[in-house]
Amino acid sequence: MKSLKLYRSVYSLTAGMLALALFSLTATAAESDQVKQPVDQRYADESTQEVPQFQQHVVPLLGKLGCNGRACHGSFQGKGDFRLSLFGYDFVMDHKELTNAEADRVNMKEPGKSLIIQKPLNEIEHEGGKRFELNSWQHRLLTRWIAGGAQGVPKNAPKFDRLEVTPNAIQFSKEGETVQLKAVAVWSDGTRENVTPICRFQTNNEQIATINEEGLVTSNKPGDTHVVVFYDAGVIPVPVLQPVSDQYGDKYPQVAASTKVDKLVVNKLQKLGVVPADLCDDTEFLRRVSLDLSGTLPAPHEVEAFLKNTSPNKRAEKIDELLESPGYAAWWTTKLCDFTQNNYDDLINVAPVRDKPSQEWYDWIKKRVTDNVGYDDIVEGILLATSREKGEDFDQFTKNMNAIYQDKPGQDFADREHMPYYWARRNFRNPDDRVLGFAYTFLGIRIQCAQCHKHPFDQWTQNDFKEFRGFFTRVNFGVNPESRQEYAAMVEELGADKLRGNQLLRELNKQVNKGETVPFMEVYVPKARPANKNQNKNKNKKQRRQGRNQSPATAKLLGAEVVEINEMDDPRAALMEWLRRENNPFFAKAFVNRVWSAYFNRGIIEPADDLNLANPPSNAPLLDYLSREFVKHDYDMKWLHREIANSDTYQRSWKTNPTNELDEVNFSHYIPHRMPAEVLYDAIHQATASDDAIDSMKNSVGERAIGIAASGVRNRALRDKQYALTIFGRSTRESNCDCDRSVDPSLLQTMYIKNDNDVYSAINRSNSSWLFQVGQQLGAVEAKNAQKTRMNDRADQLKEQAQQLKQRVAQLKKQEDKKKQLQQAQKRLRTLTAELKKVRQNAGRAQNSPAKVQTLEEPISAEKTEEIITRTYLRSLSRYPTEQETESAKKYIEESKDKMAGIYDLIWAVLNTKEFMLNH
């Protein structure tokens, strides 16, 4: 009994304490969740005595009013001798400008006479016009700040933590509906404030939704987009969606989703009421995946074999086959060389032999793509590159490089651990350029705005840019100071010590080609030399040159921690470690998004190299899944290709239905797009080639456009292809931007495919063309050396005629009464002798003359004509012609006086179709 009483007593006490604890937790949560009223309410009352904060209220208000925008005082020149930091990123500068005693912008004795009050009220002429009304909350907020002492940001002021926006997603059901956004700023001291009135807003698609200055979102046409909220460093995109049909939610039809990619895509389509297209047929799939994966059209026999294959796994098997093809390695190496910027012109002066560096860059990547080395390992070999391998001294490095450049057995640049030319480029030696290039290439970030001011659409500030730059300051290219004497001694031994710059490189080029051992410049990372703050500002040129290696003690990773880099052998190692972190928000996503874009002609984030907070993915769960799994699969590029290419999403038809015909962002159907420049150029030459030549092109890609190592106007490998590849938009690789490549149509492209001699030559080239192969089958080909044979036959005829004429001349000389006939015969003999000499010369020039397609006027059998038409379609459009196409082509060829000319016209006509030019 006593035990029961004791239990009840303890239980009562425990329950009371629990209730008290719960009350306490609730009170604390309520207190922490307490949100300060917005400034438009707090400053609506003229009696308010609250002094606003500079960072929290004043600067955001100036941004809201447009004062620190590009068109006003935020421009580089400012306006009216008054300049603010663009979008308010530099609080110290802005406060100094506003409170400049000589400018009267702030009058703390009489706040109402401050220029920042009078001009926005238009009491004094203001180019920007009236920005607020007298006694408005904006007027009172600025006046109270001035009256309270116009303070800047105190040293111990709380830091901005995050911005919370509600609702975090909006789904409309019809046009004209509205939703009000609420933005709450959270600071490091726990303060929470409704900052909606001083936020900036934008919509990413006005046709879908608009948003006004108060944050009120209004629906327009069906579809999906984002509205974006900006406050301080906070950039929050809010998805907005309005179904395009009544087949959404529970009314959505059953759609097969065989892969995780498909499930994530269909989940989004279900919310929109968009029904995806059916799967494409086998011919469309084979052509599409062959072009995307290997940059190569399928051969006619491949098309026929694929269509006859009854295996349910034949598409997956074809993907695996293509991933092992030479075309895959060549094409995807080209794409990696695009965004790492392998440009011949930027590498001309980095090695004794000009042609080598860009080719070695390509070959180094190609070996790793072929071997399916992890993407992170490829990047590591580039990012951490120095010219010397581990354990190499200058002597051994020089011997190895000379062996490579002299093509000695057992030496191959592609086998070296690093690819240093990324850092040796002439346009990549400034730390600022390296920040920009690295961010574009490996993070998919366009950070150039932060070089001068706060990024308008992202979190990056100028300080972020400057602090990130520290990772790149110690990387150098040139003569390594550690081996300067050895380098100079080798140059002197070669007798080139008087030469400098390009003259020296040209001499070293001559010597290395002769088999001599020459020295090489290097990419190297010297030990840190911290900057001396007390260093004399008037230091001489030599001192300035010596100070180039000075490095900051710390550098800050983008959106992450500060790193002590002074004691590191190579600060770039910290970058590589950061890239490989599972929670890195950029590295894997940037590559995955680029690969997705290559398949669908648009990224999940578009543009594919513009990952910023105001440009969110069209399907965030999809991008997160692919990026996460890509990392889990050790950055296996072939895994990524398989995951995408095996999905129903990739294999959908381009033919639309009423619900998805306007969709361009949610991958509900395949969107036809023009082939990339190199792929199209090769396709023209493949479609017009003989069967043997097609097999050769597929197996040996070194001479094809997709196998050209580098861009650059001086690249000799591009000379005969330069014009075509330029007008079709091959990447110039002049910057790190993906926009260096273009697939936009132009009139020049149309003129090229219709009239250019290059296309004529491709169709009509002898021996290796499809037209020649057909001509052989029809007996309409002049044999090799036929011209020489004709010339020799003609020469024999002339020789016989000349001999007969000589006999005639001899007879006439004996007859005195035949002088006139003798003169005529002698003249005729001279003419024949001259013609015989000329024919013999031409016969000599015609040695090994190629075979030629001749005219053919005789009818071709119906069966043979149909076969020619079928093979033409298979080699160009990768499908059989329709009955209508066959009949139309047969009629044209039969009615052509020259049947071979009719076949030529058929090939030309097919090349000029949209179906040929597009990947569909």
Boundary of a domain, candidates 849, 875, 904: 849
Residue 179 and residue 89 share a domain: no
Residue 138 and residue 169 share a domain: no
Provide the pLDDT for residue 846.
54
Residue 479 and residue 378 share a domain: yes
Residue 571 and residue 444 share a domain: yes
The answer to whether 112 and 143 have CB atoms below 8 angstroms apart is yes
827, part of any domain: yes
Distance CA 875, CA 870 (A): 9
Q: Render pLDDT for 556-566 as a digit per residue (tens, 0 to 9).
A: 999 899 999 98
Chain centre to alpha carbon of residue 546:
37
101, part of any domain: yes
718, part of any domain: no
pTM of the prediction? 0.86
Q: Render pLDDT for 40-65 as a digit per residue (tens, 0 to 9).
A: 999 998 888 899 999 999 999 988 98
Residues of the chain with pLDDT under 70: 1-33, 74-76, 78, 448-458, 530-550, 782-793, 839, 842-851
* Consecutive H or E run containing 837: helix 819-845
Residue 447 and residue 579 share a domain: yes
The answer to whether 722 and 331 have CB atoms below 8 angstroms apart is no
For the chain, how many structural domains are there in total? 4
Provide the pLDDT for residue 72.
81
Q: What pairing do the DSSP bridges indicate for beta strands 554-556 and 562-564?
A: antiparallel
Residue 413 and residue 439 share a domain: yes
Domain that holds residue 100: 39-147
Q: What pairing do the DSSP bridges indicate for beta strands 562-564 and 216-219?
A: unpaired
Q: What is each CA distance from 215 to 56, 187, 210, in whole angstroms?
A: 18, 21, 9
Strands (E), 749-859: 781-782, 852-853
* Consecutive H or E run containing 556: strand 554-556
Boundary of a domain, candidates 828, 849, 870: 849
Distance CA 209, CA 388 (A): 56
Distance CA 411, CA 404 (A): 5
Residue 474 and residue 435 share a domain: yes
> Residue 167's domain is classified under what CATH number?
2.60.40.1080
| Bond preceding residue 352 cis, omega within 30 of 0 | no
Distance CA 461, CA 55 (A): 15
Q: What is each CA distance from 152 to 36, 91, 197, 462, 864, in whole angstroms?
A: 21, 7, 21, 19, 88
Tokens for 377, please give them: 């390992």
Residue 143 and residue 168 share a domain: no
Instruction: Report residue 202: phi and psi, to 5°.
Output: -150, 155
Tokens for 680, please give them: 């199209």
DSSP 640-687: HHHHHHTSTTTTB-S---TTTTT-SSS-SS---EEPPHHHHHHHHHHH
Boundary of a domain, candidates 246, 261, 283: 246
Residue 522 and residue 478 share a domain: yes
Residue 210 and residue 112 share a domain: no
30, part of any domain: no
Q: What is each CA distance from 760 to 387, 688, 772, 849, 870, in whole angstroms?
A: 46, 10, 13, 20, 21
| Bond preceding residue 167 cis, omega within 30 of 0 | yes
Amino acid identity of residue 776, one-letter, is: Q
Residue 490: partners with Cβ closer than 8 Å, 6 or more residues away: 398, 517, 518, 519
840, part of any domain: yes
The answer to whether 520 and 543 have CB atoms below 8 angstroms apart is no
Provide the pLDDT for residue 802.
80
Residue 177 and residue 103 share a domain: no
Provide the pLDDT for residue 823.
81
Residue 571 and residue 517 share a domain: yes
The answer to whether 104 and 82 have CB atoms below 8 angstroms apart is no
Provide the pLDDT for residue 349.
86
253, part of any domain: no
CB atoms within 10 A of CB 543: 11
884, part of any domain: no
773, part of any domain: no
Q: Render pLDDT for 412-450 as a digit per residue (tens, 0 to 9).
A: 999 999 999 999 999 898 999 999 899 999 999 887 665
Provide the pLDDT for residue 456.
66
